[in-house]
C-alpha cells in the first residue's frame, strides 16, 4: 500500500517552503518562493501567513520571509535533550574493540572531571575507576582535554580554587607549565596523561564539543604504561580523536563552527 495515502498536501507544501528558505541566505518573497517550490501563489501566501503567525517565520520590512527564531529554540531543545552517555556508548565500545584499552567518558563538574560512563574488556587487568569518580583537571587525560578548551578565566578560577596538587613525580604543578601543556594539547588535538595521576598508567583524552564548539565532555583511553608505549601514542591518539569527533557530530558539532 502506498504511503502517499496518508500524506497531508498542505503540510508537504509547508515543509517545502521551510526547506527552501533554509537553503537560502537571503529572505525570499512570495513570487520567488512560488517559482522555487512550484506551488500556487495563493497557497504559498496562506502558508507563509500561518507560519509567520506562529513565529516560525519572520517578515522583513520589504515583505520577504526568512526562518524565525522558533526553529533555533526547537533545535536547541532537541540538542539539550540528547543524553550524552546514550550517544557516546556505541562509539566508546568501538574504540575499546579497536584499542583493547578501557574507555572513559567524563564531564566537567565543579572544577573537576567526573566519569559518567566506562567500558572495558573482560580480562585479568581491570582499572578500579568507576562512574561518579572525580579527577583533577591537571592530572588526568579527560581533565586535561577539558581544561584545554574551557575559557581562560574559568581555568584560572579552577586553579585558584582547586590548586595543582602533586599526585606523582610527573604531575604538572606550575600554572605556567600547565597552560603551555594545554596549548600543546590544542595543537595536537588530544591530551596525554603520562603517569601524572597514577604511576604506571597512561591516558589519552580528547574533548567532545557541542553545536557551539564548547566542550561538554571528554573521552579517553586508559592503559598500563607497558601496554601503551610512547611510539604508539600518536596512533591511538588519532583513534580517540575520531571517536570524539563522531560523538561531537551527533551532538550538533560541525568543523565549520
User: What are the CA-CA distances from residue 9 to residues 48, 53, 56, 167 (Å)?
Assistant: 15, 20, 19, 66
User: Taking the C-alpha atoms of 37, 39, 45 and 48 in order, what is their torsion angle to the nearest 10 degrees?
Assistant: -40
> Yes or no: is domain 82-250 CATH 3.40.50.1820?
no
Q: Edge-to-edge strands of the sheet including 215-224?
A: 134-136, 112-119, 102-109, 215-224, 201-209, 191-194
CATH 3.30.450.40 in the chain, residues? 82-250
Distance CA(66)–CA(48), nearest Å, equals: 10
pLDDT score for 2: 47
From first to last of its 257 residues, what are the pLDDT tens digits of the chain?
Answer: 445 667 788 899 999 999 899 888 899 999 999 999 999 999 999 999 999 999 899 999 999 999 988 887 777 666 565 589 999 999 999 999 999 999 999 999 889 999 999 999 876 557 888 888 999 999 999 999 999 999 999 999 999 999 999 999 999 999 999 999 999 999 999 999 999 999 999 999 999 998 888 899 999 999 999 999 999 999 999 999 999 999 999 988 877 55
Give Cβ neighbours of residue 66 (< 8 Å, ≥ 6 apart).
21, 26, 27, 28, 57, 58, 60
pLDDT score for 207: 97
Distance CA(124)–CA(111), nearest Å, equals: 33
Task: Retrieve residue 133's grid coordinates.
Answer: 569518580
> Yes or no: is domain 3-78 CATH 3.80.10.10?
no
CATH 1.10.10.10 in the chain, residues? 3-78
Decide: pTM greater than 0.75: no
Partners of 58 in the beta sheet?
66
Amino acid at each position: 500500500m502506498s504511503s502517499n495515502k496518508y500524506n497531508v498536501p498542505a503540510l508537504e507544501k509547508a515543509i517545502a517552503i521551510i526547506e527552501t528558505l533554509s537553503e537560502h541566505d537571503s529572505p525570499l518573497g512570495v513570487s520567488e518562493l512560488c517559482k522555487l517550490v512550484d506551488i500556487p501563489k495563493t497557497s504559498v501566501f496562506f502558508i507563509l501567513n500561518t507560519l509567520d503567525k506562529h513565529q516560525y517565520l519572520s517578515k522583513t520590512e520589504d515583505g520577504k520571509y526568512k526562518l524565525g527564531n522558533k526553529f533555533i529554540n526547537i533545535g536547541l531543545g532537541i540538542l539539550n535533550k540528547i543524553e550524552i552517555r546514550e550517544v557516546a556508548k556505541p562509539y566508546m565500545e568501538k574504540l575499546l574493540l579497536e584499542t583493547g584499552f578501557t574507555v572513559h567518558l567524563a564531564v566537567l563538574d565543579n572544577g573537576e572531571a567526573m566519569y559518567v560512563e566506562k567500558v572495558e574488556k573482560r580480562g585479568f587487568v581491570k582499572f578500579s575507576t568507576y562512574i561518579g569518580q572525580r579527577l583533577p583537571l591537571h592530572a588526568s587525560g579527560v581533565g586535561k582535554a577539558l581544561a584545554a578548551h574551557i575559557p581562560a578565566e574559568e581555568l584560572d578560577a579552577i586553579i585558584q580554587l582547586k590548586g595543582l596538587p602533586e599526585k606523582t613525580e610527573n604531575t604538572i604543578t606550575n600554572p605556567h607549565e600547565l597552560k603551555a601543556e594545554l596549548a600543546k594539547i590544542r595543537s595536537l588535538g588530544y591530551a596525554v596523561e603520562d603517569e601524572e595521576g597514577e604511576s604506571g598508567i597512561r591516558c589519552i583524552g580528547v574533548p567532545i564539543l557541542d553545536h557551539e564548539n564548547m566542550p561538554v565532555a571528554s573521552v579517553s583511553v586508559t592503559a598500563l604504561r607497558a601496554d601503551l608505549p610512547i611510539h604508539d601514542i600518536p596512533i591511538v591518539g588519532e583513534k580517540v580523536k575520531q571517536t570524539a569527533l563522531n560523538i561531537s557530530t551527533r551532538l550538533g558539532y560541525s568543523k565549520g563552527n
